[in-house]
Every structure is written in C-alpha cells, then in structure tokens.
C-alpha cells in the first residue's frame, strides 16, 4: 500500500496471518505487534478506507476518525486507540458491527499532570510568585486531574476541584465551578462531551471566563473545544489581565495564530506526549489485542531501551529551586518556542507545522513517579 512501511514476516516470528494497520506515530508499534501479524504504518490523519481494505486490526491515535465511513466493508475485527480520549471513535457503530475495541485510559496521565506542574512553575517564576499557598482550581478530577492535585498539594498548593459526574457518584470534597474559577490557577481536565447531562463543549464560555480573577493563570490541556477561544481572546485583548497556557486548540490542527500570540505558553497538543506515556499506551493496547485474540503477550514496555534516562524530581514544599528543578527536567518553554515559530515565520502553514511538531516530538521522559494516595 502506498505510504506504508512494512515489517516482513522474515523480520518477525509471526504467530498468525493478521494484517495490522497502525498510525505511524504509535511508538514501538512494529516491535510490539509483529508477534501478532504483519504490521504496516501510515499517516493517521490521512488514513482512508483503502488503507483498511485488507486489515484485521486497526491501531489509531486521536487524529483518526473511526466510524462506519472508514470501516464499512472492511475485515477489521479489532480497533484500538493508543489514547485516553474517545470522542474520535464511534463506539455505537463498533458495537453494532461486532468489532472489538480498546483504548489506553490513564496512559498519559502522569505526562499531562507534569505538563501542568511545569506550566505553573514557569508562570510562577515569570510572575515572581511562590508556589506555596497558591490556590489551584481543577476542572475534572479523573486520571489527569487527580494526579495534578497530588502533585500540587505536595508542592504546598491548596486545591479545589469541580467534577459533577464524580459528585453524583458520592465523591466527597468537591466544590462548585464558580469556586474553582476564583482560584489563582485554573486547569481543565475534562473529556469533550457535546451532549448528555454534563456537556463540556465551551464549558468555559464568556460568562465563565469573566469570573477569572485578574492575575490568574488558565491552563487547558484537555480538549480545545472546552474553551470558547473567541471569548478568551476578547478577554485577553480587552483586559490583558490573565495568563493563558494552551496545549489544545479549538480548530486543531489549523490553530488561531492570533490566539497563540496572546498566550504565555502555547504548545502543539503534546502535554501527554512524554515518551513514557506513548510507550505505555502502546503496551496497553497491545495487551488488549492479545486478550481479544487469545494470544500470549510477547512484548512489554520493559523491553524498550529508552535512549534518555529519567531525571526524577522530588516534589516538596520549597523555594524557587523546586521550580528550577521541574523546568530543568522538562523545558516547557522549548515546546512553546517551537510552536511559536508560527509568529515569526509567515511562510509556515499552521496546520502543517502543528502536525509536524507532533510527529517529530523530541524524547521527553517523565520526572515524577506515580504517587499512591
């Protein structure tokens, strides 16, 4: 197939004759899945019906829309997304078509939480603020939000969280959205829900954004559509009294360069892109695929020889040296500078550059171990 890179049967000890089509940006995918069949990789954003015409397994990331238009008439029996989010997958269609499915919830939670910690440290240093005593409002207390809270509290910050679905299930210690929006730092970690009891599309609309206190920091590392970018841009242009860090954008990959111009930090949807997180996602969908087809796993994350060692940071209440250690372990400003080339090079096309940065993202190791409460 044009545009595909094949792993031959000679290179793998194939235990079956399945054809596995995978997004080329899933790390270690050939090494992991070659024990199950023949693997071919392709550009996930351009993946089409022709690419899955003889595929038994489809492995994607969030840039591929998986639905009847893509899979109808194909022999695909199992789909997996190496991501936590589900809004790019038509689960109802997969169920009707009797196609198995798995994703990787929590695989990038540590990475995304570390992104938020680095953003707060960068902002605190930029504004001359101390971490200790800051109030952090967390919208969504799932896999990522709960890890953000753990890390912020270890650094001496006081956290307030809003999560209506959790509150409905009896989770204690939650508060209102209004209380969260009144914090020094507000960070979003909700899925994109357009319908249902708790829709999140444009959850932070004009009225909600107006509640942000002057001097506050707003971070969005969930989904771009959660924030009304037009309303946010108006607030930043007219008042200029808040700092904004965006990793996700309303019209990805064709992002609004004017929005980027007003951000303290702007990155190309890479909060969860640590090398550890991506390989962890591969391991999770590989294990799920093995279970689905009744095959014993022959590969794990422990088989990966990471080219860069971890540089763990002890999270504790302290002075500016803590921020320095965090930013030394993860240079979030470097990621922002890369996307920021759109502001200085008018020849760069935003959608192309955004995808280029994601495809060629450098190695980034996680720097905090999993914390057990």
- 95: number of Cβ within 10 Å: 11
Active-site pick, 223, 262, 338, 358: 223
- 30, 225, 229, 252: the active-site residue: 252
Place of tokens 């240093």: 125
* 225 among known catalytic residues: no
How far apart CA 250 and CA 74 sit, in angstroms, is: 32
Is 252 among the residues known to form the active site? yes
Residues 354, 365, 123: CA angle, nearest 5 degrees: 65
Torsion of Cα atoms, 265 then 267 then 269 then 273, to 10°: -100
Helices 109-127 and 143-154 pack at an angle, to 10 degrees, of: 40
* Integer-rounded Cα radius of gyration of the chain: 21
Instruction: In whole angstroms, give the CA distance from residue 60 to residue 82.
Output: 6
Q: At what angle do helices 109-127 and 332-344 cross, to 10 degrees?
A: 80
**3-class DSSP string for 262-324:** CCCEECCCCCCCCHHHHHHHHHHHHHHHHHHHCCCCCCCHHHCCCCCCCCCCCCCCCCHHHHH
Q: Which two tokens stand for residue 52?
A: 């899955």
Is 158 a residue of the active site?
no
Query: Which residues are the active-site residues?
Result: 223, 252, 269
């Amino acid at each position: 197939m044009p545009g595909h890179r094949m792993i031959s049967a000679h290179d793998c000890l194939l235990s079956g004759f399945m054809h596995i089509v995978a997004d080329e940006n899933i790390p270690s995918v050939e090494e992991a899945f070659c024990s199950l069949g023949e693997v071919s990789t392709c550009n996930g954003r351009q993946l089409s019906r022709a690419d899955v015409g003889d595929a038994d397994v489809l492995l994607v990331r969030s840039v591929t829309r998986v639905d009847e238009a893509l899979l109808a008439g194909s022999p695909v029996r199992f789909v997996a997304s190496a991501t936590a989010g589900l809004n790019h997958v038509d689960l109802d269609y997969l169920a009707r078509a009797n196609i198995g499915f798995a994703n990787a919830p929590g695989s990038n939670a540590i990475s995304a939480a570390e992104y938020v910690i680095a953003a707060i440290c960068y902002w605190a240093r930029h504004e001359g603020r101390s971490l200790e005593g800051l109030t952090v409002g967390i919208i969504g207390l799932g896999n990522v939000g709960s890890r953000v809270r753990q890390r912020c509290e270890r650094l001496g910050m006081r956290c307030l969280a809003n999560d209506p679905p959790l509150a409905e299930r009896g989770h204690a210690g939650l508060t209102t959205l209004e209380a969260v929006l009144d914090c020094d730092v507000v960070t979003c970690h909700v899925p994109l829900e357009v319908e249902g009891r708790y829709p999140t599309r444009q959850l932070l609309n004009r009225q909600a954004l107006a509640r942000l206190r002057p001097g506050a920091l707003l971070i969005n590392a969930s989904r771009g559509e959660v924030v009304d970018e037009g309303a946010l841009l108006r607030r930043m242009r007219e008042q200029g009294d808040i700092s904004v860090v965006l990793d996700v954008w309303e019209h990805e990959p064709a992002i609004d360069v004017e929005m980027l111009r007003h951000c303290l930090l702007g990155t190309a949807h890479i909060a969860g892109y640590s090398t550890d997180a991506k390989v962890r996602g591969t391991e999770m969908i590989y294990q799920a695929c093995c279970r689905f087809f009744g095959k014993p796993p022959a590969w794990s994350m422990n088989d990966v020889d990471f080219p860069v060692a971890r540089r763990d940071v002890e999270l504790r209440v302290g002075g500016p040296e803590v921020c320095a250690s965090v930013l030394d372990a993860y240079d979030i400003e470097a990621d922002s500078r890369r996307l920021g080339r759109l502001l200085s090079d008018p020849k760069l096309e935003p959608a192309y550059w955004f995808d280029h940065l994601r495809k060629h993202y450098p190695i980034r190791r996680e720097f905090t171990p999993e914390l057990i409460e």
